[in-house]
């Protein structure tokens, strides 16, 4: 098991969260792509629907491997069709695009051209949740619910930049399509020791504990670990599961946590229905486990989230570190 992150109690205040050491998953995966393309330029292709002229890392990648790089501009449907065609020609394709558009605007093409044909396209779904700061039209808040139910699709939500690299490498053995969800910019580094095993479909116990379990994915793993560190000082030992793979889901880890702690809270930067909550609650319902359960996320019944900074929105909607701690305390009464 990897060494957990060690936020101090003071840094559980979201106003200070952005000063934590971290790196950008978007930049990290492009750096990893450079190594992947270098290993076999004849095998891999990189398709961008972002506009390479606007991103330094993408420009560098295109300059090094022009024969492996296709830029489609802001034309996501065309990018998906191109990626599928290249995959049908024997290539393993990485498709880079803004998440709200890959999950919604191109849904027909992803469904029919990629998932139905079960081709090796890796959808790098950026600007996860409310991390874009772009408001309702640019929030990526329904993609987990959509991608996890897509036949043949593997759905991965890395918790930080280093794990994003591990996830991309881990998909090399997957013959079909993969959706990898990453945030917009710098995120806190969850694991201080990055020498840990990453396995698709196997959750990571980021923090041990038997009083309650918090299951999180993506940027909310750092929030959950921060909350667990704070609660430990109060004598409350919270298990944190980094559920980086939503499909296939680690059902065994969920059932084990339910049986051992009796309390489960899911935390996600996504609508509070259909995504991680939907996946976990389905497992618990099928297993017939009567435990205390609550889902934290963006409330579906309040409409679209407000425009704002991601950390402020996490706090506003009750799933920042303080909100998680409050929920755990209430459920343990």
Compute how many other C-beta atoms are within 10 angstroms of the C-beta atom of residue 139. 27
pLDDT value of position 55 = 61
pLDDT band for 73, please (50, 70, 90 cuts).
confident
Cβ partners under 8 Å of residue 267, min gap 6: 214, 215, 216, 220, 223, 224, 276, 296, 297, 319, 324
* Residue 61, φ and ψ in degrees, nearest 5: -65, -45
* Residue 84, φ and ψ in degrees, nearest 5: -65, -40
CB 320 within 8 A of CB 311: yes
**Within 13 Å of residue 304, how many CA atoms lie on the same side as its CB?**
10
Cα(43)–Cα(76) distance, rounded to whole angstroms? 23
State the greatest distance between any 2 C-alpha atoms of the chain, in Å, as a whole number. Answer: 61
Cα(297)–Cα(129) distance, rounded to whole angstroms? 10
**The pair of three-digit structure tokens given for residue 219, joined into one six-digit string:** 């940027």
Say which residue the tokens 């090094």 belong to. 64
Cα(110)–Cα(92) distance, rounded to whole angstroms? 16
User: What DSSP string describes 307-326?
Assistant: SS-HHHHHHHTT-SHHHHHH
Please tell me which residue in 27, 76, 187, 322 is annotated as part of the active site.
Answer: 76
Model pTM score: 0.92
pLDDT value of position 18 = 37
Cβ partners under 8 Å of residue 325, min gap 6: 12, 227, 230, 231
pLDDT value of position 13 = 42
* Residue 292, φ and ψ in degrees, nearest 5: -75, 130
* Domains with residue ranges and CATH for the chain: 9-20+190-332 (3.40.50.920), 22-188 (3.40.50.970)
Cα(67)–Cα(61) distance, rounded to whole angstroms? 11
pLDDT of 20 > 70? The answer is: no
Average pLDDT of the residues in 56-64: 83
Compute how many other C-beta atoms are within 10 angstroms of the C-beta atom of residue 290. 9
The question of whether 76 is a catalytic residue gets the answer yes
Q: What is the pLDDT of residues 298-320, one digit of tens each?
A: 999 999 999 998 999 999 999 99
Q: What is the pLDDT of residues 216-275, one digit of tens each?
A: 999 999 999 999 999 999 999 999 999 999 999 999 999 999 999 999 999 999 999 999
What DSSP state is assigned to residue 103?
A: I
Q: Choose the weakest-confidence range: 187-191, 224-228, 285-289, 323-327.
A: 187-191
């Amino acid at each position: 098991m990897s060494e957990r992150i060690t936020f101090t109690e003071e840094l559980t205040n979201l106003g200070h969260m952005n000063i934590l050491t971290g790196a950008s998953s978007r930049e990290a995966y492009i750096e990893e792509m450079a190594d992947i393309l270098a290993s076999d330029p004849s095998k891999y292709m990189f398709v961008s629907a972002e506009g390479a002229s606007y991103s330094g890392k993408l420009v560098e990648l295109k300059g090094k491997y022009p024969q492996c790089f296709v830029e489609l501009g802001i034309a996501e449907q065309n990018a998906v069709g191109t990626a599928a065609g290249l995959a049908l020609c024997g290539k393993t394709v990485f498709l880079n695009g803004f998440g709200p558009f890959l999950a919604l605007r191109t849904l027909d093409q992803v469904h029919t051209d990629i998932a139905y044909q079960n081709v090796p396209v890796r959808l790098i779904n950026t600007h996860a949740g409310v991390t874009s700061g772009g408001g309702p039209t640019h929030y990526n808040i329904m993609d987990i619910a959509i991608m996890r139910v897509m036949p043949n699709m593997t759905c991965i939500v890395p918790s930080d930049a280093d794990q994003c690299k591990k996830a991309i490498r881990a998909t090399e053995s997957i013959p079909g399509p993969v959706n990898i969800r990453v945030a917009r910019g710098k995120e806190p580094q969850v694991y201080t020791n990055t020498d840990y095993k990453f396995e698709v479909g196997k959750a990571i116990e980021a923090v041990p504990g038997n009083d309650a379990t918090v299951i999180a994915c993506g940027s909310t793993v750092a929030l959950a670990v921060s909350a667990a560190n704070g609660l430990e000082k109060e004598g409350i030992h919270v298990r944190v599961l980094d559920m980086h793979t939503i499909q296939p889901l680690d059902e065994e880890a969920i059932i084990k946590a339910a049986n051992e702690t009796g309390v489960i809270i899911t935390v996600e930067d996504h609508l509070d229905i259909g995504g991680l909550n939907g996946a976990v609650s389905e497992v618990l319902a099928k297993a017939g486990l009567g435990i205390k359960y609550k889902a934290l996320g963006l409330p579906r019944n309040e409409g679209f989230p407000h425009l704002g900074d991601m950390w402020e929105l996490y706090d506003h909607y009750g799933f920042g570190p303080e909100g998680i701690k409050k929920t755990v305390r209430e459920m343990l009464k």
